[in-house]
Structure 1
Amino acid sequence: MDHSKEAADADVSAVAALDEPTRRRLYEHVVRQSEPVGRDDAAQALGLARQTAAFHLDRLADQGLLEAVYERRSGRTGPGAGRPAKLYRRSGRQISVSLPERRYELAGRLLAQAVEESDATGEPVRIVLHRKAGELGEQLGGQEAVGVTDLLERHGFEPRRDGEAIVLGNCPFHVLAREHTETVCGMNLHLLRGVLRGLGESGLEACLVPAPGRCCVRLQPAV
């Protein structure tokens, strides 16, 4: 299993863990606190048995939603200070699940890089954006020894064959593309052209072919 699929599965599993009502209440209680929360405090705050609170807190930690830390609440150290208490706080892990798959963070990073470089050099921002997108596409294509459809599937484009062409059933930048069509579709076009270069795929070319219900880019046999 590739790393992106493993990460997506882990995110889905973590979100699914919050479907249990008691676990969801415990998670929301912990993240609202300014300091790590102990099992006893959480149980008392939510009117739960300590064993129940401990079970769900540990499940949340196992899923990466919470992080367990150990501290001595008494402030005493050395012999006789007792065992450190197990406390819980929000983990630093960021979880995102979107169906269909969206990649707005990737778009935001490319757009920010383009604005910064344009501001520093005076080069038109759209030209910089297209270059940055192409460079990223080449990196994606060059670092994975897979076919074009497999790579596009991994990155959320939902490719499907249409004769010798490849139609992309999903746009990972859907909302942005709908509101800022020329900018985002141009970025996507150069990203996918870069992917083809990175893969060494000379038999296909990326073209703008807008159509309802799918990505604006289509991969067609190279002329």
Structure 2
Amino acid sequence: METPTPTGTPTDTPPEATPLPRRVAAVTALADPARRALYELVTRNAEPIGRDAAAESVGLSRSTAAFHLERLAALGLVDVEYRRLSGRTGPGSGRPAKLYRRADAEISVSLPERHYDLAGDVLAGAIERSIETERPVRETLRAVAGEAGRSRGAASASLPLALAGNGFEPYADGDDLVLGNCPFHRLAQKHTDIVCELNYELVRGLADGCGDHDHAVASEPGAGRCCIRISRAEASVRGSSTT
């Protein structure tokens, strides 16, 4: 029996499921004029389109159109389905045609890496839960951000990999980790306190989700480019015991 997902919990696929090199390859594939013309043709059509019709529409040979369509499919830019165009079934009705339609998946590339979709998902989820539970939005934001972090962290083998996969660009600062990138940079510039809270709870959730109990996450303005410092838990405990 499946455990119900709490209201307002982001359930999107972690970004490491689609590595940056593959997303870059998908976008750069459209630099080819013929391939881009076929992609635009497929996305403009309400119904899936076959190789013959696609080739005729863009003025390519069938074999060339098929080559480019297969490349688009391999990169996740279009989806494939099979259907008998004659509508007939049974013996003698012929083989189903291979048809191409616009892919449901979204592909985006940003440098430095940004994840505004995740921020939007967390913020919308927090508002939704706040309305349903009648609890303060800021309180539910912290909870939803933590849940999103745990979900994404569970897909990673270590905290550094989880951080890297979510665009934080972790690097060593002595024995600690600091973050070289804020995935929500423009939002953080306009709404600093809210986004920093979101970041903090998200990173804590990443650590919890990937089972990392050796590090302590702390908010520290001026640490890296994301105001978060990740220290060895033992060192953090020793430091607090001497103050």
- Return the TM-score normalized by structure 1: 0.84
Query: CA separation of 1:71/1:178 partners in 2, compared to 1, >3 Å: closer, same or farther?
Result: same
2:131 corresponds to which residue? 119
Q: Secondary structure at the match of 1:18?
A: helix
2:168 corresponds to which residue? 157
Query: CA separation of 1:48/1:119 partners in 2, compared to 1, >3 Å: closer, same or farther?
Result: same
- Cα distance, 1:22 vs. partner? 0.6
Moved over 6 A (4+): none
- Cα distance, 1:39 vs. partner? 1.6
For 1:42-53, what aligned pairs fall within 5 Å after superposition?
A: 42-53=54-65
Read off the aligned partner of 1:168 and give its amino acid letter.
L
1:215 corresponds to which residue? 226
Q: Secondary structure at the match of 2:18?
A: helix
- Match for residue 103 of structure 1 among 115, 128, 136: 115
State the distance in 2 between where 1:73 and 1:214 align: 56
- 2:111 aligned with 1:91: no
- Cα distance, 1:69 vs. partner? 2.2
Query: CA separation of 1:164/1:53 partners in 2, compared to 1, >3 Å: closer, same or farther?
Result: same
1:35 corresponds to which residue? 47
Kept after mapping to 1: 8 A contact 2:163/2:203:
no
Kept after mapping to 1: 8 A contact 2:170/2:179:
yes
Kept after mapping to 2: 8 A contact 1:189/1:208:
no
- Return the TM-score normalized by structure 2: 0.78
- Cα distance, 1:129 vs. partner? 0.7
Kept after mapping to 1: 8 A contact 2:83/2:97:
yes
Residue by residue, what CA displacement relative to the aligned partner does 1:54-92 show, whole Å, maximum 9, x if unpaired? Answer: 211122122222222222323333333333322211122
State the distance in 2 between where 1:39 and 1:197 align: 49
State the distance in 2 between where 1:195 and 1:6 align: 15
- Runs of 5+ consecutive residues of structure 2 not aligned to the other structure: 1-13
1:177 corresponds to which residue? 188
Read off the aligned partner of 1:33 and give its amino acid letter.
N
Aligned length: 219
Query: CA separation of 1:195/1:78 partners in 2, compared to 1, >3 Å: closer, same or farther?
Result: closer
Kept after mapping to 2: 8 A contact 1:104/1:173:
yes
Kept after mapping to 1: 8 A contact 2:219/2:228:
yes
Structure with higher RCO (Cα < 8 A, 6+ apart)? 2
Read off the aligned partner of 2:40 and give its amino acid letter.
E
- Cα distance, 1:47 vs. partner? 1.4
State the distance in 1 between where 2:83 and 2:217 align: 58
